[in-house]
Chain A
């Protein structure tokens, strides 16, 4: 299988559009340091949503019955993750250059965790449907906004490494999410599992 055609068929408008929205939110976070701890998580959630669209395959009825292995197809599509990761990296560099007081290692971990979570949910969804992006991105965003919008949850877990606050530290949360995401992606591509058709 050629990587080019497989990549071309991806949901690029969704991936790039959401990444652009994330860039916009992140830039505002860089420009207004007081709002960084709110706008960066929003930006990362949008990047996670973008990652959830990378596995969308409109022609899945045809593609899924080709001899190409799932792991290879998923690997090629994973290259699209470079878009949200690059956008996130640019924001981190811009924030560091502007002198924002953030723990950059933990913030980078949160970025990678967000993006990988979106990809993992999409990978699991891809075993059931050809275009899991819409449902996966919605699910990921709803999960990611909970700590910011539900006071009870924000007492238990922190998904962004801001100073202060209580609950499980963000590093612990994201290392756990990373491990679970890698396991979920590995399980979803471990065998040739075709989406169930109704």
Chain B
């Protein structure tokens, strides 16, 4: 009996140590991935380059961390997830289950997330802006929210999406295909909002994306602040991250873990929809030009 109790207690401890070892290894692999390194270097160069002159359009700077850390990070995480596919018959016989290995892979998102935080700090502290008006008619806290949703959250969500995609999609070109489609989608809905920013369906379309603009610039000194709540949009982005993690973990999950994930997924979906609706309805009643 003592032996069985000791074994029962030891199992989670062993599971934790396996997870820690795997997570450390995956983090190291991700941190030296050439695609991610290229993204991080491009982010640093772009932010540094933007800081050389006074910025009059903040939207010309903030999308780049999202593209490089989130987009390139998604591709790097996708390839890292797929890299073990060929050796799955051997790896599958080890004590570490697929969900544990997936969870370890998900931890790689910490690296681009921290880079995103560093970008945010650099943008906030060292980016010379022509005045607070470049952020639009937002309160100081909402300005931070806009920067967080544009630089930090995409850097976290991109790699998580890459892991989920790598677990479920066999097609090797899925990551760059999705990157291009998301890039095209964000461009399209932003352009639609440029001409007609006020209709609710246009606001919903613009926010139905992992990244969104909240301002537009007609000329050097005229900023239009669009509808939508940046804070609630961050909630929507978090919900997307949770859905990506759950979808990734679902692959290969069995018994209780599977049951828990299957129950959590619809709840996360409902929360995401609710937050999107609230983000669409929140904020300004109509676009404000200043």
Q: Which A residues fall within an 8 A CB radius of B?
A: 13-14, 17-18, 21, 24-25, 28, 32, 34-35, 38-39, 42, 45-46, 49, 53, 133-134, 137-138, 141-142, 145, 148-152
Least CB distance, A131 to chain B, in whole angstroms: 9
Q: Does B221 contact A (CB under 8 A)?
A: no
Q: Which of A18, A25, A34, A152 contacts B194 (CB 8 A)?
A: A34
8 contacting pairs across A/B (C-beta < 8 A): A14-B171, A21-B177, A24-B181, A32-B188, A46-B180, A141-B179, A141-B180, A151-B64
A150, B42: Cβ atoms under 8 Å?
yes
Enumerate chain B residues within 8 angstroms of A38, measured Cβ to Cβ.
Answer: 184, 187, 191
Given contacts A34-B195, A42-B183, contact A18 B49 (CB under 8 A): no
Q: Are A49 and B184 in contact (CB under 8 A)?
A: no
CB pair A25 B180 closer than 8 Å: yes
Q: Is B15 at the interface (CB under 8 A from chain A)? A: no
Q: Are A25 and B49 interface neighbours, CB within 8 A?
A: no
| Chain B interface size range | 20 to 34
Chain B interface secondary structure, helix, strand, loop or mixed?
helix
Chain A binding surface SS class: helix
Chain B interface residues (CB < 8 Å from chain A): 35, 42, 45-46, 49, 64, 67-68, 71, 75, 79, 171-173, 175-177, 179-181, 183-184, 187-188, 191-192, 194-195
Given contacts A49-B173, A137-B172, A138-B172, 4 further A-B contacts (CB under 8 A): A35-B188, A42-B180, A42-B184, A151-B64
Query: Smallest distance from the beta carbon of B165 to chain A beta carbons, Å?
Result: 14
Q: Which residues of B contact A42 (CB under 8 A)?
A: 180-181, 183-184
Is the beta-carbon distance between B191 and A35 smaller than 8 angstroms? yes
